[in-house]
Amino acid sequence: MPRHNQKVSLKRVPLEITRLGLGTAPLGGMFSSVSEHESDDLISTAFDLGINYFDTAPLYGNGKSEVRLGRALRAAKKDFVISTKVGRVLNDTDTPDKEFFKDADPTKESVYDWSADGVKRSINESLERLGLDHVDMVLLHDCEDYLEQTLREAYPVLDDYRSQGIIKAVGMGLNLCAPSVVVMRETDLDCALIAGRYTLLDQEAQEELFPLALKKNVSMIIGGVYNSGVLANPVKGAAFNYAPVSEELLDRALAIKAFLAESEVSLTAAAIQFPLRHPAVTTVLTGSRNSAELRANVADFDAEISDSVWDELEASGLIKPLSLG
């Protein structure tokens, strides 16, 4: 069986998700617009390829991603596992902002709300946009600047919903390791999404976050494997964590690409497969804006990379050695 559609159980919850999941921020028009046809075709292709895990959030296009994903999931009439997020609510506005999400709902604006009522509202409105009667996993989204309220108000709501069976798994989704460690240490999470912190260019997550996840039996989901662009196409002006890449990091990305080329391994294949080297990692989550991108990601994910390539890459000093903490 290809690696991408192999199913693995979350460690603490009877949910089986594929090794490769589909992140749907692009369905909100992240960076560039996506047509309704492309959106529907993308989800249909994911099912055709055996992918069953889909991640979304109210932030992505001010609800547009949830609307598009929900429509396609309902049309597919197949089994799936879905995660969405809390921490922001969508309020009415007459000053639309489409700078980041080109397909964003122009009548809404995203506002942080970590109150208990805000979390409940967020989940209810996500269900309405999705057109579903449930979501399997709910993640605390970008809570690094609201840790006290997250722990005091937001997390208890999710914990209560889990105990009632309203949701099956509680998690978090952040781009930063230090606040992720705080949340994981202070709560009882089932899963955690970390984006951009366990890649060919940045292995910070293995220092403290992954060892804690292994200790607490939290299933790690890895996003941002291309560090928002530079590991997909390392050229001057490429993005690293949504900002222009530094010369130092670009040089290292190019050096990794050249090193891999000697073993006939593409940079994108190595980038998408790299997180699976760590035993804390359950699934890799990548965003695609159309079926062609998804098929390319699947091909990279399934490509053969020998253990010796990783060993030699470590020995070269271009990536840090694998560490279990």
Average pLDDT of every residue of the chain: 96
The per-residue pLDDT for 1 is: 64
Catalytic residue among 7, 11, 53, 55: 55
- The answer to whether 302 touches 4, Cβ cutoff 8 Å, is yes
The mean pLDDT of 5-26, rounded to a whole number, is 97
Share of the chain above pLDDT 70, in %: 100
The mean pLDDT of 103-124, rounded to a whole number, is 97
Q: How many CB atoms lie within 10 A of CB 179?
A: 19
- Would the pLDDT of 264 be above 90? yes
11 catalytically annotated? no
pLDDT band at 242 (very low <50, low <70, confident <90, very high): confident
Calpha distance 87→31 (Å, rounded): 22
pLDDT digits (tens, 9 = 90+) for 277-307: 999 999 999 999 999 999 999 999 999 999 9
The mean pLDDT of 131-160, rounded to a whole number, is 98
- The answer to whether 66 touches 58, Cβ cutoff 8 Å, is yes
55 catalytically annotated? yes
The per-residue pLDDT for 43 is: 98
The per-residue pLDDT for 96 is: 78
Residue 53: strand, helix, or coil: strand
Residue 87 corresponds to which tokens in the numbers above? 């921490």
Q: Cα 42–54–48 angle (5° rounding)?
A: 45
DSSP annotation of 79 reads -
The per-residue pLDDT for 263 is: 96
pLDDT band at 97 (very low <50, low <70, confident <90, very high): confident
Q: What are the residue ranges of helices labelled H in the chain? A: 36-48, 64-76, 116-130, 147-149, 155-164, 177-186, 209-216, 247-261, 267-273, 291-302, 307-315
- The answer to whether 169 touches 190, Cβ cutoff 8 Å, is yes
Residue with tokens 């605390």: 140
Catalytic residue among 64, 85, 108, 168: 85
60 catalytically annotated? yes
The mean pLDDT of 266-278, rounded to a whole number, is 98
- Would the pLDDT of 98 be above 80? no
In the chain, the domains with their CATH numbers are 15-315 (3.20.20.100)
pLDDT digits (tens, 9 = 90+) for 161-212: 999 999 999 999 999 999 999 999 999 999 999 999 999 999 999 999 999 9
